[in-house]
Amino acid sequence: MIEYQIKGLVLDKTVVNEVDYSYVILTAEFGKVKAKAGSAGKITSKLAGHLEPGSFSSLRLVRKTHDSNLRLAEALLVDKVSGPEYMRTLDLINSIIPFEFPDEIFFDGVVNNLLSGRNDSNLILSLAGYDPKYAKCGICGSEKIVYFSKSNIIFLCQSCLSRSLRSVREKRSGESF
pLDDT in tens, 56-100: 999 999 998 877 889 998 999 999 998 888 999 999 999 999 999
pLDDT in the model for residue 93: 95
Q: Got the DSSP string for 72-107? A: EEEEEEEEE--SHHHHHHHHHHHHHSPBT---HHHH
pLDDT in the model for residue 82: 82
pLDDT over 50 (residue 137) = yes
Single out the residue of 87, 93, 156 nearest to residue 129, CA to CA: 93
When comparing pLDDT for 175 and 64, which is higher? Answer: 64
Write the pLDDT tens digit of every residue in 104-120.
999 999 999 999 998 99
In Å, how far are 6, 12, 52 from 29, measured between CA atoms? Answer: 8, 18, 20
pLDDT in the model for residue 3: 94
When comparing pLDDT for 150 and 45, which is higher? Answer: 150
Q: Are 152 and 95 in contact (CB under 8 A)?
A: no
When comparing pLDDT for 66 and 27, which is higher? Answer: 27
Q: What is the pTM of this model?
A: 0.85
Q: Are 119 and 113 in contact (CB under 8 A)?
A: yes
Contacts within 8 Å (CB) and 24+ apart, 121-125:
121/88, 121/89, 121/92, 121/148, 124/89, 124/92, 124/93, 125/92, 125/96
pLDDT in the model for residue 103: 95
pLDDT over 50 (residue 19) = yes
Domains and CATH numbers, the chain: 2-127 (2.40.50.140), 135-174 (no CATH)
Mean model confidence pLDDT for the chain? 89
pLDDT over 90 (residue 40) = no
